[in-house]
DNA sequence: GGCCGCGCTTGACCTGTATCAAGTTTACCC
DNA sequence: GGGTAAACTTGATACAGGTCAAGCGCGGCC
């Protein structure tokens, strides 16, 4: 009864990992997506030395809070994390979802305090990377410096994609785009790109995409009726990737 | 007849600068906002050595184009620049406006090619900072490395603010927020925070804020009727900053 | 100086999504 | 396992902002 659809492999579900909790970058199966990407094995060990791994976060627990002192960036090892900020009038704005192999917290570098909060959407293991040590190490490992610049740059371009989505696209297009994004991020992690379980609620999805829960729900129903998705609560099957891409890409393209 | 409202000072209008075109970071009046921020005078000279200054861009000229090879980031010295990307279906999305002392082009680091295009909104002088040299220099000047990380982080948080604005706020709130943003950026540059000339068209404003030209125009008219702004074509006077802030901050705040 | 075109404004109408409301299902907890 | 709260779905209605259309005015150019 526990996610039969997800082909769960080592480390994706810490509760099932009975063997060896002493994870390190060298043996982490996410190393090819994560910070070690550009490093040789000697350098990976140097990186590994500065990384701290605490006990897994439970669903709902905070990784950091908006306004708290910035000390580290974080890599998700398993589970899923959402980042959000609270607007002046007290409403929440979800700014991103982070899956295994992805790095969050870089918004805190600017003012030395976190510009948003981050909380676990489900039980999640996270690697903490103290930023001071990372900076020092970057000086001796130019490959690491470059890679970290790239990671920040990627965050910028992804935010800009979201800006475009919010500014130009309909509810249906936004949701199609999010489903495709999650699908391709699953593929990167060698999980199924067509069947997966959404770790976030409809509220979070709507919040992230600038829509109300009701609209999210209606769009899911519509996409199901069109036989593009099969939606069963949080379980998603993409039945027609092409159709989904057509919707996300905005079919208009008339001359 | 040329912008009487703007208190134009040295370098803000290159056409008027008859004296000394050999600008450098040490004598640039923007150095306190720009990259040299965290450097002592010796180090500023090292930075200065890698910076290239071409002739000013004319209105409409491109600084770089989406997809072109990424070699440098750019600091605006005078004028104004807009960054934009073209969506899959051919529409334009403005992702940012850049004023003197601000740095753009960091989106290109990730894939080594520019993720968006940048063009001058008016005659603009720009400093080109070759990224390779900047990386090398960062290794020897940790203050510079840190400052550049901060600049990228600031770009991220600003993008996230825009995401929030687009996702949660009404047309009026978005425009109020943009006016306040331009106002405070002017203040940083010791220009008037209450009277300024918009370098961009209504179309660009609408595009940036996810609104149509008509809506932008209507909101300006409404704010003028409320005696919060005085709008005369591109000339803006903020008559009631408090009122503008109330609108931007979303007055709702009912428990 | 007068003509043309583009950027801007204003009005009338339409539509997508929000809002409000009610009902259903799922998940959690004792 | 049953009770309750939270999450989700579905329907009816309202409204902000989009679309379409027309007119204005400033700036550039011959």
Q: How confident is the model at residue A251 (pLDDT cuts 50, 70, 90)?
A: very low
What mean pLDDT comes out for the span B225-231?
92
Give buried/exposed letters for A187-208 (b at 16+ CB in 10 A, else e). eebebebebbebbbebebbbbb
B95 and A249 in contact by Cβ < 8 A?
no
Q: Does the nearest atom of strand C lie within 7 Å of B197's Cβ?
A: no
Which residue, B119, B38, B45, is CA-closest to B80?
B119
A98-114 per-position pLDDT tens digit = 999 999 999 999 999 99
Q: Does residue B64 have a pLDDT over 90?
A: yes
The secondary structure of residue A55, as a DSSP letter, is P
B153 and A93 in contact by Cβ < 8 A?
no
Q: Does residue B251 have a pLDDT over 60?
A: no
Q: Does residue B111 have a pLDDT over 90?
A: yes
Q: Comparing A188 with A54, which gets the higher pLDDT?
A: A188
How large a percentage of chain B has pLDDT more than 90?
66
Q: Could you please report the per-residue DSSP string of chain B?
A: ---TTS---TTTSGGG--S-----TTT-TTTTTSGGGG--HHHHHHHHHH-EE-PPBPTT-EEE-TTSBP-EEEEEEES-EEEEEE-TTS-EEEEEEE-TT-EE-GGGTTTTB-SSEEEESSSBEEEEEEHHHHHHHHHH-HHHHHHHHHHHHHHHHHHHHHHHHHHH--HHHHHHHHHHHHHHHHHHTTS-SSEEE--S-HHHHHHHHT--HHHHHHHHHHHHHTTSEEEETTEEEES-HHHHHHHHT-S----
> Cα B222 to the chain's mean position, in Å?
26
Q: Does residue B25 have a pLDDT over 90?
A: no
Option in B89, B152, B166 nearest A156 (CB): B152
Q: How confident is the model at residue B250 (pLDDT cuts 50, 70, 90)?
A: low
Q: Does residue A240 have a pLDDT over 90?
A: yes
What mean pLDDT comes out for the span B80-103?
92
What does the alpha-carbon distance between residue B59 and residue B78 come to, in Å, rounded to a whole number?
Answer: 12
**Chain A neighbors of B162, CB-CB under 8 A:** 163
Other beta carbons within 10 Å of B43 = 17
What does the alpha-carbon distance between residue B195 and residue B202 come to, in Å, rounded to a whole number?
Answer: 18
Backbone angles phi, psi at B196, to 5 degrees: -155, 170
How large a percentage of chain B has pLDDT more than 70?
89
What mean pLDDT comes out for the span A141-166?
93
What does the alpha-carbon distance between residue B12 and residue B31 come to, in Å, rounded to a whole number?
Answer: 14
What mean pLDDT comes out for the span B77-101?
92
Alpha-helical segments (H) within chain A: 41-50, 131-140, 142-168, 171-188, 202-209, 213-225, 241-248
CA distances from A178 to A13, A96, A160, A206, A221 (A): 23, 11, 14, 11, 16
CA distances from B63 to B73, B121, B159 (A): 10, 11, 21
What mean pLDDT comes out for the span B111-127?
93
- Number of residues that this document lists for chain B: 255
Q: What is the maximal distance between C-alpha atoms in chain A? A: 59
pTM for the complete prediction?
0.88
Provide the mean pLDDT of chain A: 87
Q: How confident is the model at residue B39 (pLDDT cuts 50, 70, 90)?
A: confident
What does the alpha-carbon distance between residue B39 and residue B128 come to, in Å, rounded to a whole number?
Answer: 18
Other beta carbons within 10 Å of B15 = 9
Between β-strands A72-78 and B103-104, what pairing exists: parallel, antiparallel or unpaired? unpaired
Q: Does residue A14 have a pLDDT over 50?
A: no
Q: What is the pLDDT of residue B52?
A: 87
Q: Does residue B87 have a pLDDT over 60?
A: yes
Q: What is the maximal distance between C-alpha atoms in chain B? A: 58
Q: What is the pLDDT of residue A21?
A: 54
CB contact set of A118 (below 8 Å; sequence gap of 6+)? A62, A63, A64, A74, A81, A82, A83, A84, A98, A104, A105
Q: Does residue A126 have a pLDDT over 80?
A: yes
Q: What is the pLDDT of residue B5?
A: 35
Q: Does residue A253 have a pLDDT over 70?
A: no
Q: Does residue A19 have a pLDDT over 80?
A: no
CA distances from B229 to A49, B8, B142, B202, B217 (A): 57, 22, 44, 15, 13
CB contact set of A235 (below 8 Å; sequence gap of 6+)? A5, A195, A196, A197, A198
Considering all nucleic acid strands, name the nucleotide whose C1' atom is nearest to the C-alpha of residue A174: C17
Provide the mean pLDDT of chain B: 86
How large a percentage of chain A has pLDDT more than 70?
89
The secondary structure of residue A4, as a DSSP letter, is T
What mean pLDDT comes out for the span B61-81?
94
> Residue B145: closest CA among chain A residues belongs to which residue?
A135
**Chain A neighbors of B87, CB-CB under 8 A:** 164, 168, 250
Q: Is A57 helix (H, G, I), strand (E, B) or coil?
A: strand
Lowest mean pLDDT among A115-119, B41-45, B83-87, B186-190: B41-45
Between β-strands B72-78 and B125-130, what pairing exists: parallel, antiparallel or unpaired? antiparallel
**Chain A neighbors of B146, CB-CB under 8 A:** 135
Considering all nucleic acid strands, name the nucleotide whose C1' atom is nearest to the C-alpha of residue A217: D9
> Residue B152: closest CA among chain A residues belongs to which residue?
A152
Q: What is the pLDDT of residue A250?
A: 52
Q: Are A115 and A108 in contact (CB under 8 A)?
A: yes
Instruction: Give the end-to-end CA distance of chain A in Å, rounded to a whole number.
Output: 50
Q: Does residue A155 have a pLDDT over 90?
A: yes
Instruction: Give the end-to-end CA distance of chain B in Å, rounded to a whole number.
Output: 50
Q: What is the pLDDT of residue B21?
A: 54
What does the alpha-carbon distance between residue B67 and residue B113 come to, in Å, rounded to a whole number?
Answer: 5
A156 and B157 in contact by Cβ < 8 A?
no
Q: What is the pLDDT of residue A1?
A: 36
Q: Does residue A186 have a pLDDT over 90?
A: yes
Q: Which residues pair with B94 in a beta bridge?
A: B84
Q: Does the nearest atom of strand D lie within 7 Å of B233's Cβ?
A: yes
How buried is A138 (Cβ within 10 angstroms: 0-12 exposed, 13-18 middle, 19+ buried)? buried
Q: Does the nearest atom of strand D lie within 7 Å of A234's Cβ?
A: yes
Distance C4 C1' – A177 CA (angstroms): 44
Q: What is the pLDDT of residue B35?
A: 86
Q: What is the pLDDT of residue A76?
A: 94
Q: Does residue B7 have a pLDDT over 90?
A: no
Q: Does residue A249 have a pLDDT over 50?
A: yes
CA distances from B218 to A91, A229, B213 (A): 27, 40, 9
Q: Does residue A252 have a pLDDT over 60?
A: no
A87 and B164 in contact by Cβ < 8 A?
yes
Distance C15 C1' – A226 CA (angstroms): 22
A112-121 per-position pLDDT tens digit = 999 999 999 9
Q: What is the pLDDT of residue A130?
A: 93
Q: Are B14 and B78 in contact (CB under 8 A)?
A: yes
A20-64 per-position pLDDT tens digit = 456 788 888 898 888 888 788 888 888 888 998 877 888 999 999
Q: Are A209 and A216 in contact (CB under 8 A)?
A: yes
């Amino acid at each position: 009864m526990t996610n039969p659809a997800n082909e769960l492999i080592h480390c994706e579900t810490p509760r099932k990992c009975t063997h060896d909790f002493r994870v390190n970058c060298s043996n982490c199966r996410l190393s090819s997506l994560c910070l070690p990407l550009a490093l040789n094995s000697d350098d990976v060990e140097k990186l590994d030395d500065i990384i701290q791994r605490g006990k897994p976060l439970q669903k709902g627990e905070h990784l950091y809070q908006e306004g708290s002192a910035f000390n580290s960036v974080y890599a998700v090892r398993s589970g899923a994390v959402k980042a959000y900020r609270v607007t002046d009038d007290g409403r929440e704005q979800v700014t991103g979802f982070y899956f295994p192999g992805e790095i969050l917290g870089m918004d805190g570098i600017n003012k030395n305090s976190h510009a948003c909060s981050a909380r676990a959407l489900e039980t999640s293991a996270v690697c903490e990377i103290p930023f001071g040590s990372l900076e020092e190490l970057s000086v001796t490992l130019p490959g690491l410096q470059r890679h970290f610049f790239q990671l920040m740059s990627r965050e910028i371009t992804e935010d800009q994609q979201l800006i475009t989505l919010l500014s130009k696209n309909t509810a249906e297009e936004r949701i199609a785009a999010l489903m495709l994004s999650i699908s391709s991020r699953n593929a990167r992690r060698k999980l199924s790109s067509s069947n997966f379980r959404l770790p976030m609620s409809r509220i979070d999805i709507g919040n992230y995409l600038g829509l109300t829960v009701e609209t999210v729900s209606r769009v899911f129903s519509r996409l199901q009726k069109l036989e593009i998705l099969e939606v069963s609560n949080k379980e998603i099957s993409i039945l027609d990737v092409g159709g989904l891409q057509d919707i996300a890409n905005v079919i208009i393209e008339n001359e």
